[in-house]
Amino acid sequence: MADYKAPLRDIRFVLNEVFEADKLWQSLPGLNGAIDWETADAMLEEAGKITSQTIAPLNRSGDEEGAKWDNGVVTTPAGFKQAYSTYAEGGWVGLGGNPDFGGLGMPKTLGVQVEEMVYGANNSFALYPALTAGCCLALDAHGSEELKQAYLPNLYAGTWAGTMCLTEPHCGTDLGIIRTKAVPQADGSYAVTGTKIFITGGEHDLTENIIHLVLAKLPDAPAGPKGISLFLVPKFMVNADGSLGERNPVNCGSIEHKMGIKASATCVMNFDGAKGYLIGEVNKGLNAMFTMMNYERLSIGIQGIGCSEASYQSAVAYARDRIQSRAPTGAQQPDKAADPIIVHPDVRRMLLTIKSMTEGSRAFSTYVGSQLDISKYADDADIKKKAEDLVALLTPVAKAFFTDVGLENCVHGQQVFGGHGYVREWGQEQLVRDVRIAQIYEGTNGIQALDLMGRKTVANNGAFVKVFLDEVRGFIAANQDKELAEFIQPLAKAIDNLDELTSLVIDRSKTNPNEIGAASVEYLHVFGYTAYAYMWAMMAKSAVARLADDADGFYQSKIGTGRFFVKRMLPRIHSLSESVRAGSEPLYELDAAQF
């Protein structure tokens, strides 16, 4: 297994050359000049070092040892605690946090690059700070000043960790039927009682305290999702002077034994009248929780990118080294018994599939990150509104498409190794196991597709989609240069197809609500490939402009990879589109008993 190396050259290309991040950051008044390219570049370099040298070496050992549970106490694998301390001391947990409470205040366009590196190095490790960051987002946006002062500084510092406690044994997606109760107390706090499952980092030994964000209902709450409130429930109470007090009655009943991410503690958490504090308004808990969901779902999507990159690095190193058979055109290394397998068309197909989709994903995560930054930091109302609409539209695409693609990529990387890919020592089978969860948690990919098709497209008659289509068509109109025609023309056809498909589903759904769910997954994938065509057109534009100074072939490689995407990957939209056009009827011809 090749050692993971942070893909800094590719990250710098996307962030600085394609999206011109420095110009973006300087144009956003809300950032207050907090970041420039020189600072960002130095931070990327440091992130590359800690992920490659400190976190990645724990990936395999962490998988083999796993998190351990003993009578309510959870122990992370050897080396995790020290690595987490090093990571926290570098300020990485609070990278995007509010500077008023000790966060670094960095933009999401930088944050997504760091997240990719951490996921690429070690999925299980990455989840601990990712959940803390999400907890901080909700608390910062909706918590009282008193709660923020008491909890955010230690959360940003990594001294304390955070969780999200949503799911219960009888409910996952349908949070409206949760049973966890919060009873008001005389001192203004609440007694929280209930059981939550699948809680990432619910208990561990990495930090001195763990802060749980818990969805619960007051005794007189309205039925359904309108009756949900959000509460902050600490593992240890916090005294007035900031020191830790008595243990709160919240305990880990067990941890799950999972297919992958085995070093990440996935906990059953029992709240037995634990003291909690309301975040936001009563019965507005889902609103508070969803503040963090755009960020968290993008983060989990990035797990797919990180795994893809790790799989590619290992697969391409193996393909260059492993010799088997001769090239179809004759011996390439006649002094050896056979040629390296990278000469074979099918191996190249797999490697280029991973490469083109991973680089497309990286560009798209940066694009979505830029829209999050604009929506947060811009002062022009129209610009903010456009970015907010795009974030709402593209978040389910990013979460689901990144992770669907991530599994496919990791399977291709495993396949390059042949039988060795099925053996633990090479690391590819772990990546396949680890990446699989990303399609399931933070809202399954089927739910993401329903969100895209139903709430984000049909519900507003395609208004959000039109914002995206108009932007891409503006790019197409402005880039009619002959050098870019091979990217622009397929993009234009793909955009027209997406436009037509959107109108078709909206129209059909007016008389048959089944059409939304029947079209949703394939529609999301059509959207994903089309969005990547836009990303590749932008990357090709940047690469073409720099060919004159392409001493090491980096930019020519970008153009060649983009050509592969346009000619071999983008055509997938045609079969997917035909599936959408087939409608819902084939799904409902069988009665339940006929399955």
- What residues are labeled active site? 442
Taking the C-alpha atoms of residue 554 and residue 403, their distance in angstroms, rounded to an integer, is 27
Which residues are paired to 190 by β-bridges?
184, 276
Taking the C-alpha atoms of residue 407 and residue 131, their distance in angstroms, rounded to an integer, is 22
DSSP string spanning 391-410? Answer: HHHHHHHHHHHHHHHHHHHH
Q: Which residues contact 412 (CB under 8 A, 6 or more apart)?
A: 311, 315, 350, 351, 353, 354
| Total length of the chain | 595
| Chain-centroid distance, C-alpha 456 | 19
| Chain-centroid distance, C-alpha 283 | 28
Instruction: Judge whether 527 and 574 are in contact, CB under 8 Å.
Output: no
260 DSSP 8-state letter: S
Q: 118: buried, middle or exposed (CB in 10 Å: 19+, 13-18, 0-12)?
A: buried
Taking the C-alpha atoms of residue 255 and residue 198, their distance in angstroms, rounded to an integer, is 8
Q: What angle do CA 53, 54, 56 make, to 5 degrees?
A: 75
First to last CA, the chain: 43
Nearest to 368 by CA among 321, 300, 317: 300
215 DSSP 8-state letter: E
Q: Dihedral sign, CA of 310, 313, 315, 317?
A: negative
Q: Dihedral sign, CA of 412, 413, 418, 421?
A: negative
Taking the C-alpha atoms of residue 384 and residue 402, their distance in angstroms, rounded to an integer, is 25
Q: 475: buried, middle or exposed (CB in 10 Å: 19+, 13-18, 0-12)?
A: middle
Instruction: Judge whether 125 and 83 are in contact, CB under 8 Å.
Output: yes
How far is the CA of 395 from the CAs of 402, 459, 531, 577, in angstroms? Answer: 11, 16, 12, 21
Nearest to 289 by CA among 205, 353, 212: 212
Nearest to 535 by CA among 391, 364, 348: 364
CA R_g for the chain: 24
